[in-house]
Amino acid sequence: VGDVLRGELFFAPHPTSTSLSTMSTAVLGSSFARPLRRASRGTRKTPGGRVIVVQANHDDLASSSASTALASTLSPGAADRVVLGTSGLSVAATGVGAWAWGDRSGYWGSDWKADRAKNLEAYRTLLTGGVDFIDTAEVYGFGKSEELLNEFMSNTAGDPDFAAPILATKFAPLPLRWGADDVPKALRASMSRLGKSKVGLYMQHWPAFGIQDRANDAFLEGLCRCYEQGLCDAVGVSNFNAERITAAAKMFKARGVPFASNQVQYSLIYRAPELDTGVLEACNEAGVTLVAYSPMAQGLLTGKYSTGAGSVKPAGPRGAIFTDARRAAVESLVGALREVGAAHGDKTPAQVAVNYCMSKGTVPIPGAKDAKQAASVVGCLGWRLEAAEVEALEKAAKAVPASPGAPFEAW
């Protein structure tokens, strides 16, 4: 991937238009568009020499052995895909996060047992719609999220309508973990819960901190061992700052280990990785995909929690975060999202918020608890916001207080 398939598959402007909604270009390179020079009809090179594949017009699709050219009007699922970082993992351009599936912490304010059947329908809807990248972690539901995924995969096993998902799970640097061997040990426990002998992507969930900070190099070594032992197709990190990304990339490159992604919070109202911390730039320089969690600001950008008559607050800890003042402050932005969505076939504010992250070159992983929410995620595929729409939304978002960042980002 470092030469041809390096980085993300995303969309650059059509050669005769700046409209992102008419994009029909598959770009293999950094997460965000950079100035390009023309190499030949149908192809271009970035200043760094990376290859992209360009459709010259709507009737003549360019092709490459490195990628599948995209139709001018993308179809959900098969066409709208991304190659993660320096790995060969090809995933849907939006994935889904399974944090809420099996949640026993109370954070999402719901009964995981009562939601089990709805979560299964979400899973089935996602896979039939082409969303095959599913993110989980050993700490989600204290292992229950992984166990439910095992159950859901068993439910659809052998059915040709359901492709096997590309699973990503994460190692938690818990207090009693100090050594490199703790990482493959934890992965084997995750694989047992998932019912798998291998996962697509394995990540360190957050950097160890305090006295345990000295174990971080050992944990990266442990990720290398997971790949070298054939337990995963690629490795990644989550909540890493710019300096840690650069260090991890150096180690993984020296070991020949594919570095897929850094998973961080990113949304229309939380752009710190892009604007403030240098995280996005570090990802670009390392050829690493930025995977965006909380792309809908944990539901704040959906319009579900407005302050009008009959409004509701989310249950659980989010209810304290979504104050009346905060919900009121975001209403104008939700209105802007709704207006943009109307221009794209009545897409919802939630879908526009997720597609914003896709249009910026990240791979978002919104949550989906039931079939309706899963269908909404599927509906994020196959289109992109126009450049002017991205600019207008970012302008509107400046009036909204930024979402609080995770403490991990400063570790």
Please give the distance of CA 272 from its chain centroid, rounded to a whole number: 16
Burial grade of 127 (CB within 10 A; 0-12, 13-18, 19 or more):
buried
Where do runs of H (alpha helix) occur along 45-110? none
Question: Which residues, including other chains, have CB under 8 Å from residue 18's CB and lie 6 or more apart?
Answer: 386, 387
Token reading at 97: 């996060």
Token reading at 214: 């000295």
Interior/surface letters 196-213, b for 16+ CB within 10 angstroms, e for the rest: beebbbbbbbbbbeeebe
Bridge partner residues of 171 (DSSP): 204
Q: How far apart are CA 77 and CA 126, in angstroms?
A: 10
Q: How far apart are CA 411 and CA 407, in angstroms?
A: 7
DSSP string, 301-370: GGSTT-SSTT----STTHHHHS-HHHHHHTHHHHHHHHHHHHTTTS--HHHHHHHHHHHTT-EE--B--S
Token reading at 51: 């290859």
What SS3 class is residue 200? strand
Q: How far apart are CA 71 and CA 95, in angstroms?
A: 21
Q: How far apart are CA 234 and CA 228, in angstroms?
A: 10
8 A C-beta contact, residue 261 and residue 289: yes
8 A C-beta contact, residue 51 and residue 63: no
Q: What are phi and psi of 207, to 5 degrees?
A: -75, 140
**Which of the 8 DSSP states describes residue 84?**
-
Which residues are part of the catalytic machinery? Answer: 140
Q: How far apart are CA 66 and CA 48, in angstroms?
A: 17
Q: How far apart are CA 47 and CA 362, in angstroms?
A: 21
